[in-house]
Amino acid sequence: MAEIKQVLVPDIGDYKDVGIIEVMVKVGDTIKAEDNLVTLETDKAAMDVPSPYAGVIKEMKVKVGDKVSQGSLILLLESSDAAGAPQSSQPAVQPTPAPTAAPAAAPVAATPAAIPVVAQASQPAVAPARGTPVGAPVKGTPPDTRPSGGLGAAPLLHSDPSAGKAHASPAIRRFARELGVQVAQVKGSGAKGRVTKDDVQLFVKAALAQPRGAAGGNGLQVLASPVVDFAKYGAIETRPLSRIKKIAGANLHRNWVTIPHVTQFDEADITEMEAFRKELGAEYSKQNIKITPLAFLLKAAVAALQKYPEFNASLDAGGENLVIKQYCHIGVAVDTPDGLMVPVLRDVDKKGIVQLAKELGEISAKAREKKITAADMQGGCFTISSLGGIGGTAFTPIINAPEVAILGVSRAIIKPMHKDDTFVARLMLPLSLSYDHRVIDGAAAARFTVFLAQVLADTRRLAL
Ligand code: CAO
C-alpha cells in the first residue's frame, strides 16, 4: 500500500539556516529515488538533496529562499517503493527519528541521504569533490577526474579553473558535465546570471550547429576571446577587416588548429646564385622581367618536391591515404593592400627561371589589382611565402591545407662562414619549412631543407 513519507533535510554537517537556491520538483511530479529535490547553498558550498524514495510528490514544504537545517521538512511524498525502504545506493546513513510531535500514524520520516557537495567560487583551493558524502571528511578530497563524455574531451568542471566562477546548481553542473560542457562557458539567463538547464541545452545545440572547422568546431573546446572595452583605456578607431582578410583568416585559423605544424629552419648559401641572378636581371630588365630570388626558389622547390614526393601530396578526405601528385603547381603568397592572397603558378616543373620570373610578376600584379580569380588560387601542391624583400630572419608559416608543407623565405644576409680553416663572407638565405607532422617526419623535413639548400648553393643542380 502506498505510504506518505516525509523527506527531511539530512545531515549537512555543522551548517544551520542554509538557503534553498533551487527547487527541482513540484507537486504531482513522479520521481525516482536519488532524483534531486532541492539545492542548498552555504557561503562555501552548494549541495543537492536527493530523494531517498521513489514516488509522487504530494506537498511541497519549502520554496526558494527558505532557510533550512538538518531535519527540516522538505516535502511529503507518496512512496511507490514496495517495501517502503529507501532506494538510495548512497552510503549508509543515520536514520533520522520521526518528529516527536508527529502523531502515531504520521508520515514516516525519510532517511536522510548523504549529500553530494560542489565547490563554489569562494571555495578554498582544496574543495570538496562532488559525490563526497556530507559528514565524511572532505578536506583534501581529490577532485573528480573521471573522463567526461559528450562534446569532445572537455575537462571536467572540477578541473576547470574557471568553473567555480559560474553560478549553477550542482544539478545543472552535473547535467552540463554529463554533456561534456564546461559550465563556465555557458551564459546564464537565470536570476543573477545563474546557468539554467535550458542554457546548457542551448549551448550544446549551438555547439552542434557550428560548421566543422569553425572556431570551436572539430570537437575543439576553446575559450571565447575576452570582450574588452578598449575605449576605457584610451582613444580608439574601429576599422572593418577586408573581405580577403576575413576569408583568409578563417582558413588560416582552421589550418593552424587542425594541422600539427612543425617548422624546420635552415640556411642556404646563395652567394653564387645571387651573382648569376644579377647577371640575368641585367639581361632581362630590358624586357621588363624582374628576376628575383623567388624564381630560383620555385625551381629549387620543384627539385626537392620531386626528390621527396610526400611533400608534393595531400591527405585524402578520410585522412587514411596520401595522395601524391604527379604535377607540380606552386602557390606564392602575395601581400596585397587588402590582405594575403596565394595565386598558384602552374606546372612549375615544366618552366624555366625566366618564364617563372615573368609569371610571378604578372600574377602578383594581378593579385594587387584585385583581378585574381578563385581558379587562380586553386590546385596548389606546395606554397612559398617570401618575406625576403621586406626583412626578418625566420618565421613559422601556416600550411595552406590541403597541402602538407610550406616554405617560408626570409631576407638573405652576408655572414661569416667557416670554410677551409678560415672565415669567408657568404650570402646566406634563411629557410623556414613548416610541415604537417601527420604526414612528414622531422628527419624527412630536415633532408628536404638540406637538399633545398644544396640546390640553391649550386644552381647547376637545377639542370639535373
Ligand atoms: N633576400 C634578399 N633580398 C630579397 C629576397 C631575399 N630572400 N627576396 C627578394 N629580395 C629582393 C629582391 O631581389 C628585390 O630587390 P631589388 O628590388 O633590389 O631587385 C626586392 O627584395 C623586392 O622583391 P619583391 O618582393 O618585389 O619580389 P619577390 O619576387 O621576392 O616577391 C612577392 C614577390 C609577390 C612574393 C612579394 O612581393 C610579396 O608579396 N611578399 C610577401 C609575401 C607575404 O606576405 N608572405 C607572408 C605570408 S604568411 O603570413
For position 429, what pLDDT does the model report?
98
Half-sphere exposure of 382 (CA within 13 A, CB side): 32
Distance CA(267)–CA(250), nearest Å, equals 31
Contact present, 373 and 379 (Cβ < 8 Å): no
Cβ of 407 less than 6 Å from ligand 1: no
Please tell me the distance between residue 273's alpha carbon and the centre of ligand 1 in angstroms: 16
| E strands in 294-364 | 313-315, 322-324, 330-332, 334-336, 339-341, 344-345
pLDDT at 162 over 90: no
396 lines ligand 1 (CB under 6 A): no
At residue 219 the predicted structure's pLDDT band, cuts being 50, 70 and 90, is low
Q: From the CA of 392, how far away is ligand 1's center (Å)?
A: 12
Q: What torsion do the CA atoms of 144, 147, 152, 153 make, to the nearest 10 degrees?
A: 80
Q: Which triple of cell numbers denotes residue 75?
A: 516535502
The answer, yes or no, to whether any atom of ligand 1 lies below 6 A from the CB of 260, is no
Distance 344 CA to ligand 1 centre (A): 16
Q: At what angle do helices 293-307 and 271-285 cross, to 10 degrees?
A: 130
* Per-residue pLDDT reduced to its tens digit, 330-349: 999 999 998 999 999 999 99
Expressed in angstroms and rounded, the spacing between residue 390 Cα and the centre of ligand 1 is 6
State if residue 408 touches ligand 1 by the CB under 6 angstroms criterion. Answer: no
Q: Is 303 left (phi over 0), alpha (psi -120 to 50) or beta?
A: alpha
Residue 327 has a pLDDT of 98
Strand pairing class (382-386; 405-409): parallel
**Predicted local confidence at residue 224, as pLDDT:** 85
Contact 118/170 with Cβ under 8 angstroms?
Answer: yes
Distance 412 CA to ligand 1 centre (A): 11
Q: Where are the alpha helices (DSSP H) in 369-463?
A: 442-457
pLDDT for position 82: 55
Instruction: Count Cβ atoms within 10 A of the Cβ of residue 319 and give its class: 0-12 exposed, 13-18 middle, 19 or more buried.
Output: exposed
Quick: pLDDT tens for 301-332: 999 999 999 999 999 999 999 999 999 999 99
Lowest-pLDDT range of 13-22, 43-52, 364-373: 43-52
- Please compute the mean of the pLDDT values over residues 177-184 and round it to a whole number: 80
Question: Which of the listed residues 292, 298, 400 should we mutate to test ligand 1's pocket, taking the one with most ligand atoms within 8 A of CB?
Answer: 292
Q: Is 388 in the pocket of ligand 1 (CB under 6 A)?
A: yes
Domains defined along the chain, listed by start? 2-95 (2.40.50.100), 260-463 (3.30.559.10)
List the residue whose alpha carbon is closest to atom 19 of ligand 1.
292
Ligand 1 nearest-atom number relative to CA 290: 19
Q: Which residue stretches of 158-270 are H helix?
A: 170-178, 197-209, 243-258
* Ligand 1 atom nearest to 335, measured from its CA: 39
Q: Which helix H or strand E contains 38, and what residues bound it?
A: strand 36-41
Confidence bin at 1 (pLDDT 50/70/90): low
Q: Ligand 1 pocket check: which of 253, 256, 294, 369 to mutate, most ligand atoms within 8 Å of Cβ?
A: 294
Average pLDDT over residues 212-240: 79
Q: What letter represents residue 153's amino acid?
A: A
- The residues, ordered by sequence, that sit 6+ positions from 221 with a Cβ below 8 Å of its Cβ are 151, 152, 153, 154, 182, 185
The owner of cell 641585367 is 282
Phi, psi of 392 (to 5 degrees): 100, 160
Rounded CA-CA distance 185/407 in Å is 38
**What distance in angstroms lies between residue 112's CA and the mean position of ligand 1's atoms?**
76
Whether 335 lines ligand 1, by a CB cut-off of 6 Å, is yes
Q: What is the pLDDT of residues 381-397, one digit of tens each?
A: 999 999 999 999 999 99
Q: Considering only CA atoms, which residue is closest to atom 21 of ligand 1?
A: 389
> Once rounded to an integer, what is the mean pLDDT over residues 424-433?
98
> Does ligand 1 have an atom closer than 6 angstroms to the CB of 334?
yes
Catalytic residues: 437
Residue 84 has pLDDT above 80, yes or no: no
Higher pLDDT, 210 or 165: 210
Whether ligand 1 lies within 6 angstroms of the CB of 432 is answered as no
H/E stretch holding 299 reads helix 293-307
